[in-house]
Amino acid sequence: MGVTIGDVAAHAGVSKTTVSRVLNGKGEINKNTVLKVQQAIAELDYVPSARALAFARGSTRTVGMLVPDLAWVYSGIVQSVVDTLEAEGFGLRMLSVSRGEESLRSLGLKVAAKSFDGLLVIEPEGALEYITALHEASLPIVLIDDRFRRPGFPFVATTNREGGAQAARHLLESGRRRPLVITGPEAYGCTRDRLGGFVDAYAAAGIEIDPRCIVWGDFQFESSRCSVERALADGVEFDSVFAHNDPSAAGVLAALHAAGREIPRDVAVVGFDDVELASYTYPALTTIRQPMREMGEAAALLLLEHVRRSPEAAASRIIPTSLVIRGSTQQPHSP
C-alpha cells in the first residue's frame, strides 16, 4: 500500500485535516506547520491524488513541463507548447531534473501543492518510474518523444524507424552503396529505431552494411567528427554518412572538409531532426525532419483534453517524419 495522508500527518506531527489544508491551500496555516508538512511529503515521497486535489481546488489554468538538461535541443517543441497553451488560455511552468533526486522531490511538492493541472514531459533519464507513479495517482501526463519504451500513459512520438528508412532510400536513390552510420546512444529507443529502419532498407535493396561502418555515438558534434576521422584513418570505405542527429552530422561535415573530401560528390551526408543548424552548415544539410512544432502542439492539446476529462481524449499520437533534401546529398544544377 502506498503512503497515505495519514502517514504524512503522523510524520509531521499534525492532523490529517491540517495536511489536507496545506495540500489544498485553504485556510491560514502557520508557516512552520506548512514547512513541516512539506518536509514530510518530500521525505515520504507522498503522491496525492491529483483528481482529488483538482476537485478541491479547481483548475490552476497552468501546465507544468518537465525537460532534460539539454532543453535547447527541444526549443521548437517548447515554443509550440507555449503558443498552443496561450491560445487556450493556459500558462506554462517549466521544470527540470538537473539536480536528480532533489529535483524529483521538488516536483512532488509542486504536485502536492497543485501548482499545475497536468504535466508535459520530455523524458529525463531515470525519471520514468516516478512520472508513472504520478500518472497512476491521477495526474494528467503526456510524454513527448519517448526514447526508451512506450509508457503506460499518453504520449506523442514520431516515426523514428521510418525516418531511418527514408534516409536509406534517399541515399540508395542517389547511388550510394557504402554508407557509414554514426548512431545516437545505444540505450535510446530512437537510436535503435533509426538504425533498424536504415539497415532494413539497405537489406531490402540487397546490400548488407559492413559492421565496421556502424559506429555507436552520443549525438555530439565532437565525437562524430572523431569517429569519421578514425574511419578514414582505418581505411574504411564509404560513400555516404547517416548521422542520427544534426549536430552529429555537422561534426561529420567538419571531418570530411578537413580530409579534403568533397560533399556530396565524394561523400553524401544525411542528418536527423532538421534543427535550425541544418540550414546553416556548408553545404546545407539534408536531414530527416522530426516534426518538433507539430509534436509540441499535439502534446499540449492532448494534455488539455485529459485535463478537461474529455471523453474523446485520444490515447496517444504518432506524427510522421519527412525527408528534407539540401546540398549535402544533392549537387547543385549547373546554369
Number of domains in the chain: 2
Closest to 189 in 3D by CA, of 165, 158, 210, 213: 158
Q: Which domain holds residue 217?
A: 160-290
Residue 325: DSSP 8-state: -
CA distance 110 to 270: 42
31: three-class secondary structure by DSSP: helix
Whether residue 36 lies inside any domain: the answer is yes
- CATH, residue 202: 3.40.50.2300
194-220: per-residue pLDDT in tens?
999 999 999 999 999 999 999 999 999
Neighbours of 283 (CB within 10 A): 17
Single residue among 9, 27, 46 that ends a domain in this structure? 46
pLDDT in tens, the chain (335 residues): 567 778 888 888 888 778 777 776 656 677 788 788 878 887 787 766 554 454 445 577 889 888 876 555 677 888 899 999 998 888 888 877 655 566 566 666 566 556 788 899 887 666 777 788 888 888 899 998 756 556 778 899 999 999 999 999 999 999 999 999 999 998 888 899 999 999 999 999 999 999 999 999 999 999 999 999 999 999 999 999 999 999 999 999 999 999 999 999 999 999 999 988 999 999 999 999 999 899 999 999 999 998 887 766 777 889 999 999 999 999 765 44
CA distance 310 to 313: 5
pLDDT, residue 146, reads 58
Residues in the chain: 335
Whether residue 191 lies inside any domain: the answer is yes
pTM comes to 0.75
Closest to 53 in 3D by CA, of 24, 27, 26: 24
- CATH, residue 25: 1.10.260.40
